[in-house]
Structure 1
Amino acid sequence: MAAPADKRKIVKKRMKKFPRFQADRFKRMNPAWRKPRGIDGRVRRRFKGATLMPSIGYGSDKKTRFRLKNGFYKFLVRSPADLEMLLMHNEKYAVEIAHNLGAKKRKEIVERADQLRLHVTNRFGRLRAEENE
């Protein structure tokens, strides 16, 4: 199993939720963020005590953005052939098997990933331990 080449410390800034303004007051209103555009809106004018708006300052460090906690970047795989792309990049990317694959194809992917020394994040999904008889 390969270890990540880059050992940079991953700093996640505040993981803040940004609900839509007044979405808690109306059931029909989706809480997904919408930028306020009204002429009198206190959120748009950034009054003290009002809901905070998302801005660039809440983002993570560019060098470690999208990194997993183990230091790898996630790479979604749907077939064993997709693993060949990661042949030279086993220290940068970790394999994540797509959720809609069956046990047979998952087993093939895990076996091929072991041969290529790739890290698989969801290695044991849908795979039962076979009993030794």
Structure 2
Amino acid sequence: MTELTSETERLMKVRARQKKKKPEFNRCDSHKKKKLSPSWRRPRGLHNKLRRHIAAKGKVVKAGFGSPRDVKGYHPCGMREVLVKNPDDLLEAEGCAVRIAGTVGMKKRDEIEARAREMNLKVLNPTSGGD
């Protein structure tokens, strides 16, 4: 496994602190209508209170809520996350944490996990009966 530099470790702590303070960004009125999913959509209506930044109506997504650029996309364990669909993808995952795609079958999944163990890579979603 790779060791974290002190700067990366500091930024991971900053990110964790920021994520605790970050509000939930839900789509406007998604709690009122069943057909609206809570996933964020920009409010566009002329009289929309959220678009007009009325404080009681919630927060609007802005650039300042993001993670520090150097640790963006990192897993909480401090490693960059790579999606793997076949055993050959592990060659590009050197020093990264590996997440096996959900569409991968059991036979290929076992092969990927065995190869990752040989290469000393961390598998984020191993099979339950694994090591």
> Is 1:3 aligned to residue 8 of structure 2?
no
Question: Would the aligned equivalents of 1:103 and 1:126 in 2 still touch at CA under 8 Å?
Answer: no
State the identity as a percent: 28
Question: Would the aligned equivalents of 2:23 and 2:59 in 1 still touch at CA under 8 Å?
Answer: no
Aligned residues: 123
Give the distance between the partners of 2:115 and 2:26, measured in 1 at CA.
43
Distance verdict in 2 for CA 1:106–1:6, change over 3 Å:
farther
Higher Cα Rg, which structure = 1
After superposition, the C-alpha distances for 1:70-95 in whole angstroms (9 at most, x for unaligned) are 11111111211111223xx32xx111
1:55 Cα offset (Å) = 0.9
Give the distance between the partners of 2:130 and 2:98, measured in 1 at CA.
20
Distance verdict in 2 for CA 1:126–1:102, change over 3 Å:
farther
1:52 Cα offset (Å) = 1.5
What TM-score, normalized by structure 1, do the two folds share?
Answer: 0.75
1:42 Cα offset (Å) = 2.1
Give the distance between the partners of 1:48 and 1:122, measured in 2 at CA.
40
Instruction: Give unmatched runs, 5+ long, in structure 1.
Output: none
> Is 1:119 aligned to residue 122 of structure 2?
yes
The CA RMSD over aligned residues, in Å, is: 2.3
Aligned-partner residue type, residue 101 of structure 1: V
Equivalent position SS for 1:96: strand
Relative to total residues, which structure has the larger helix share, 1 or 2? 2
Equivalent position SS for 1:57: helix
